Amino acid sequence: MDRRSWPKVAYVFAVAALFAVLAGELWLSVRSMSQTADEAAHLYSGYEYWTARDYGLNPEHPPMLKLVAAMPLLGMGLKVPQGAEAETSKMQEYVGGGEFLYGNDAGRVLFRARVAASVFSLLLAAMVFAAAYEMFGAGTGLIALVLCVFEPTLLAHGALVTTDMAASCMIFAAMYALYRYEKRPGIGRLLVVGVAVGLALAAKFSSLLLLPMFGVCLLLEWLKERRRLRAGGEVAQGFGGWKRVLGWVGAVLVAWVVLWGFYRFTYAARPGGLQLAPTLAAYAAMLGPTGKAGLIMAAARMHLLPEGYLYGLVDLQIFGGALPSFLLGTVHPGPTKMYFPVAFVIKSTLAVLALLVGLPFVARGKGGRYWRELVFLLVPVVVYLAVSLNAPENIGVRHILPVFPFVMVLAGWSAGLIMGWGRVGAAIAGVLLVVHVGSSLRAFPDYLPYANEAFGGPARTYRVLTDSNVDWGQTFLKTSDYLRKNKVEDCWYAVGLGVSFVDHYRLNCRPLPSGFGRVTGMQLPVIPPTVHGTILVSAVEASGLFWGNGVLNPYGELLKRRPDDMIGDAVLVFRGDVALPLASAEAHSSASSFLLRRGRLEEALGEANLAVAGSGVAPDIRVNLGAVLLTMGRKAEAEAAFGEARRLAGQYDPEGVQHTDQVIAGLESAVQSGH
């Protein structure tokens, strides 16, 4: 071999090695993960799409990821829940999903599906490399690939059976395809844009943000062309005029056909005359007298889009805003504007942040030469983050995952420019890459709870973020191993988002009250005010996400202690005696509520009084006491309990006062109407 070809061979080898590393990171990390909260529902839905052509399950997400993940399961002869065809509610997709996953070999099923889902991560890495190479050269291409392969947040979601990575992949594909078309217009490249947009729309509804992204980029391109013509430039040659208009019509049609293809070109969401519950018309009516409902139903009457897709669009409008959020140690009853920008800073490595901050300085004077590249990389990031400021839900950085691949290319270019400074620049860039890779390797294999070192690293993420940023239900296998290796027999567990499927992992720990279980209507287990043994607390429960701030968080006192251990950087471990008086009181209040529903009023009152005796701060406990008294006809006492609930809310939960008033008003109305 000619020595002159060695650099090319080494380059190809480095690229291939990085892809091998990426595959290894993804597959090794998910082997030790139990299912995350949504995976069983997505798998069950995807399997039903293939085997029964029933798109009635999980219509709130388009089908592409679910179809891909379920594909390797088709030859396994899996058992499916019986009688599931009669129900398509959100509850059924999760209940049925659990029955589907754990009624079969859950580990084998989940790993196969995750390997299939990881194809989107591998494809995204390939496109990040290709885009950086084409835009800024071979060096930047390789650096961007390194950044992508070791980006903890991309790795965290890279092989999960969830829609976030698929959307990130296809949004990047669509923007890259549009960039290549604008760089050299042609009918072939424009049709590729159409295919990419269709795939993006079939991945996740957030891909609809491609519309403003495309609009801004094309407007800037048009303004740039006008400016060039005014300066005496020549009209660009090639694919233009009416051909371009027809080309765009063709691209839109291609995207439309691709989307329909994922629904098998069938309008009805369910086969054999089965209906969605509620029907599309009834569901759209819940939007109220808005133009959105009219547009969706007009599209339904003309069969412009599949019924399942239209149903998902309605769901997108109805749900959201009801979930609390947690940021920098504070629980909010709903979304907060700076959630996603701050979460991005927490979840990005310090090296990537440094490269982004330094980019305006190291790229000074190069904006004209790379004007188009900067437009197509920056516009998606700006649009996505701008929209995120008013997002109805703040439940995880995964909802802005599509900005990360664009950031990898920009950070890669920044590092490449620094390397161009000579030996000093190469040393600086090298150190930053080592910092990036090192931070990622320290997090392996637990990427979900990642936070950079400025925020204390993964073991401290739970103090600044929670929900799917830390514990999404993925820790039960690790917890089982931990209990076995440490020979723990006497344990208690406050489970977070996995409370509905923790029993499948047979951890043999006594349950502690779960905030997520409370808000989803589960009866909380009654516990003594002080528990002894090994106490496991999910990061979600420790944060108080579904309880409240300060004294309203039953596990808040534990945050003042350093955990004796951590499991997967997402479960806090304490040993010895732990006082949990508020958790005990909430459990008695929950028991009271369930007894009230069964009409056992005296028993309900007894439990409600035990709850009040155990807690002098929680408004919800006083509300429940008032509900029992109101049902018993003791209105004066009920009003006193409600008044105390309002006072406590004003003192300890000012942001929740309105919610407390609404709950009380609802109870009073229900009693007056006889329900």
CA atoms of 502 and 493, how far apart (whole Å): 10
What pLDDT does 85 receive? 58
174 vs 644, residue with greater confidence = 174
**Does a cis peptide bond (omega within 30 degrees of 0) precede residue 271?**
no
- pLDDT band (50, 70, 90) for residue 497: confident
Backbone angles phi, psi at 547, to 5 degrees: -115, -55
What pLDDT does 542 receive? 94
Is residue 130 classed exposed, middle or buried when 0-12, 13-18 and 19+ CB atoms within 10 A define those classes?
middle
- pLDDT band (50, 70, 90) for residue 632: confident
pLDDT digits (tens, 9 = 90+) for 283-339: 998 888 777 888 999 999 999 999 999 999 999 888 766 789 999 999 998 899 999
CA atoms of 105 and 103, how far apart (whole Å): 7
CA atoms of 495 and 474, how far apart (whole Å): 11
Indicate if the pLDDT at residue 486 is higher than 70: yes
In the DSSP assignment, the letter for residue 47 is H
C-alpha closest to that of 170 among 262, 45, 242, 243: 262
The answer to whether residues 580 and 554 touch, using CB atoms and an 8 Å cutoff, is yes
pTM: 0.94
CA atoms of 649 and 671, how far apart (whole Å): 23
- Read off the pLDDT of each residue in 478-487 and give the average, rounded to a whole number: 94
The answer to whether residues 255 and 173 touch, using CB atoms and an 8 Å cutoff, is no
What pLDDT does 448 receive? 97
Provide the token pair at 329. Answer: 């140690």
CA atoms of 383 and 101, how far apart (whole Å): 37
- Read off the pLDDT of each residue in 341-345 and give the average, rounded to a whole number: 98
- Read off the pLDDT of each residue in 72-91 and give the average, rounded to a whole number: 79
- pLDDT band (50, 70, 90) for residue 225: confident
- pLDDT band (50, 70, 90) for residue 273: confident
C-alpha closest to that of 342 among 309, 376, 302, 385: 385
Backbone angles phi, psi at 95, to 5 degrees: -65, -50
Provide the token pair at 297. Answer: 């139903």
Radius of gyration of the chain (CA): 27
Provide the token pair at 654. Answer: 């000012």
What pLDDT does 224 receive? 85
142 Cβ neighbours under 8 A, 6+ residues apart: 11, 14, 15, 129
430 Cβ neighbours under 8 A, 6+ residues apart: none
Task: Give me the chain's average pLDDT, please.
Answer: 91
Under DSSP, is residue 530 helix (H, G, I), strand (E, B) or coil? strand
187 vs 19, residue with greater confidence = 19
- Residue by residue, DSSP assigns 268-315 as -SSSTT---SS-HHHHHHTT-S-HHHHHHHHHHHTT-S-HHHHHHHHH
The CB density around residue 143, as the number of other CB atoms within 10 Å, is 28
In the DSSP assignment, the letter for residue 63 is S
C-alpha closest to that of 629 among 668, 594, 590: 668
Backbone angles phi, psi at 579, to 5 degrees: -80, 125
CA atoms of 52 and 138, how far apart (whole Å): 47
Indicate if the pLDDT at residue 238 is higher than 60: no
208 vs 240, residue with greater confidence = 208
- Residue by residue, DSSP assigns 318-337 as HS-S-S-EEETTEEESS--T
CA atoms of 208 and 210, how far apart (whole Å): 5
What pLDDT does 321 receive? 60
What pLDDT does 196 receive? 98
The answer to whether residues 196 and 174 touch, using CB atoms and an 8 Å cutoff, is yes
CA atoms of 505 and 128, how far apart (whole Å): 38
What pLDDT does 241 receive? 67
Provide the residue type at 151 as one letter: E
- Read off the pLDDT of each residue in 141-158 and give the average, rounded to a whole number: 98
Dihedral sign, Cα of residue 368, residue 371, residue 377, residue 380: positive
What pLDDT does 638 receive? 87
pLDDT digits (tens, 9 = 90+) for 520-574: 888 899 999 999 999 999 999 999 999 999 999 999 989 889 999 999 999 999 9
Provide the token pair at 101. Answer: 């996953």
Provide the residue type at 97 as one letter: G
**Domains with residue ranges and CATH for the chain:** 32-117 (no CATH), 471-579 (no CATH), 589-672 (1.25.40)
Share of the chain above pLDDT 90, in %: 72
What pLDDT does 436 receive? 98
pLDDT digits (tens, 9 = 90+) for 389-439: 999 899 999 999 999 999 999 999 999 999 989 899 999 999 999 999 999
What pLDDT does 1 receive? 47
pLDDT digits (tens, 9 = 90+) for 158-173: 999 999 999 999 999 9
What pLDDT does 237 receive? 54
Dihedral angle of Cα 148, 149, 153, 156, to the nearest 10 degrees: 150
Is residue 367 classed exposed, middle or buried when 0-12, 13-18 and 19+ CB atoms within 10 A define those classes?
exposed
Residue entry with tokens 């979930």: 323
Indicate if the pLDDT at residue 671 is higher than 80: no
pLDDT digits (tens, 9 = 90+) for 344-399: 999 999 999 999 999 999 988 886 789 999 999 999 999 999 999 999 899 999 99
CA atoms of 257 and 308, how far apart (whole Å): 15
307-326: b or e for each residue (b if 16 or more CB lie within 10 Å)? Answer: bbbbbbbbbbbeeeeebbbb
pLDDT digits (tens, 9 = 90+) for 456-478: 999 999 999 999 999 999 999 99
What pLDDT does 239 receive? 57
What pLDDT does 120 receive? 98
Dihedral sign, Cα of residue 494, residue 499, residue 505, residue 511: positive
Residue entry with tokens 């989803």: 520
CA atoms of 404 and 329, how far apart (whole Å): 24
CA atoms of 100 and 97, how far apart (whole Å): 5
Cα 150–chain centre separation:
20
**Partners of residue 493 on adjacent β-strands:** 511, 536
The answer to whether residues 658 and 618 touch, using CB atoms and an 8 Å cutoff, is no
Is residue 233 classed exposed, middle or buried when 0-12, 13-18 and 19+ CB atoms within 10 A define those classes?
exposed
Q: Maximum CA pair distance of the chain?
A: 95
5 Cβ neighbours under 8 A, 6+ residues apart: none
- pLDDT band (50, 70, 90) for residue 240: low
